[in-house]
Amino acid sequence: MAAQLMSTSFSYYYHHQTNPIIAAARTLKPSPSSTCLNSLLSLQRFGVFQRTRQEKRRGYGVVVASSSSNAAAPLWDSWKPEKSSAASPSLSDIIWPSAGAFAAMAILGKMDQILAPQGVSMTIAPLGAVCAVLFATPSSPAARKYNMFMAQIGCAAIGVAAFSVFGPGWLARSAALAASIAFMILTRSNHPPAASLPILFIDGVKLHHLNFWFALFPGAAACIILCLMQEVVCFLKNNFKF
């Protein structure tokens, strides 16, 4: 590579030495104009040499960085808050989602008291993550109704099937989680809270008697209530700002 660069520089140097225009310019007496001409010729030779050098380096697979290129973001940027041009959230943007989550859990808790004789609880842990998705980020893909119900029903059924095949233990949990992620990718129903439903069923002895009814209750059934509460929260956020 060094030999080729030296050969290229020599050929350009020889070309400019034998060029009659350049030779005639050198015979002129020193003057401000001839000095400027020599400076321009030197800059031209240097620019051509630099371009040839960069092309050679690209030919050998060497990437030439420029000041205008976008450098890769440092690894620690993902540990910082996301930079956004939007203004800071208003007080109403904080109060209404929080109040909606409080009301949703209060309603589900009241239903727990009604369903207690049947040994069923509506306030399962994944619903807390569902509330955060629906109320805090209502425009995110995970908050779409198709994503939520498809993932809730599918992942819950996968948990029941894994428990039936492998029984309780690490193998059932691992297989159910892997199958749930594959199911959400295949059906394009990305809804992260639903991935915890299979593990909840496998480890929750009180839920085993539901069998495949677990695919509809309590997860999917509770999501209907949460969707209604989301509409109320969005209405309040859009019409009652402070």
Q: What is the pLDDT of residues 117-160, one digit of tens each?
A: 877 788 888 999 999 999 999 999 999 999 999 999 999 999 99
Q: What is the Cα–Cα distance from 37 to 40, expressed in whole angstroms? A: 5
In single-letter form, the type of residue at position 155 comes to: C
Per-residue pLDDT reduced to its tens digit, 57-95: 555 444 444 444 445 566 777 777 777 666 788 899 999
pLDDT over 80 at 39, yes or no: no
The owner of tokens 């660069």 is 5
Name the least confident of 112-116, 125-129, 148-152, 171-175: 112-116
d(CA 148, CA 143): 7
pTM summary value: 0.65
Query: What is the predicted pLDDT for the residue at 87?
Result: 72
- 160 token code pair: 């029941």
b/e per residue 25-36 (b: at least 16 CB within 10 A) = eeeeeeeeeeee
What CA–CA distance (Å, rounded) separates 146 from 188? 9
pLDDT band at 56 (very low <50, low <70, confident <90, very high): low
Residue from 60, 61, 62, 63 nearest 3 by CA: 60
Q: Where are the domains of the chain?
A: 91-239
Query: Torsion over CA of 26, 28, 32 and 35, rounded to 10 degrees?
Result: 0
Give the pLDDT of residue 68: 44
In this structure, are residues 160 and 189 in contact, taking their beta carbons and an 8 Å threshold? no
What's the chain look like in SS3? CHHHHHHHHHHHHHHHHHCHHHHHHHHCCCCHHHHHHHHHHHHHHHHHHHHHHHHHHHHCCCCCCCCCCCCCCCHHHHHCCCCCCCCCCCHHHHHHHHHHHHHHHHHHHHHHHHHHHHCCCCCCCHHHHHHHHHHHCCCCHHHCHHHHHHHHHHHHHHHHHHHHHHCCCHHHHHHHHHHHHHHHHHHCCCCHHHHHHHHHHHHCHHHHHHHHHHHCCCHHHHHHHHHHHHHHHHHHHHHCCC
Question: What residue type is 207 in one-letter code?
Answer: L
